[in-house]
Amino acid sequence: MKWILILGIPWGSALSVDGVSLTTATFDDQRACEAALDKAKAVRRWKDRATPDGLCVPSASEEKKSS
């Protein structure tokens, strides 16, 4: 099953919602997605107090295949 990481970053990206930039990535399994999320949360730019945050969700297209 494919997993999608939805990541909110408090700095620069073309896609912004209420001042938070959003990005996504696709992974082959949940563990890889969660490892990437943990790594992203550990990143903080020296001038920012906020850190990235996000969640991993199963791909909707994969959910339909298994039904």
Instruction: Express each pLDDT in 7-65 by its tens digit.
Output: 887 766 556 667 677 888 999 999 999 999 998 888 766 566 677 789 999 998 755 55
Q: Name the CA dihedral angle for 9, 12, 23, 52, rounded to a multiple of 10 degrees.
A: -10
Residue 3 has pLDDT above 90, yes or no: yes
Token pair of 63, please? 């959910």
Q: Which domain holds residue 52?
A: 3-66
Per-residue model confidence (pLDDT) at position 10:
72
Q: Model's pTM, two decimal places?
A: 0.71
* Total structural domains within the chain: 1
pLDDT higher for 66 or 52? 52
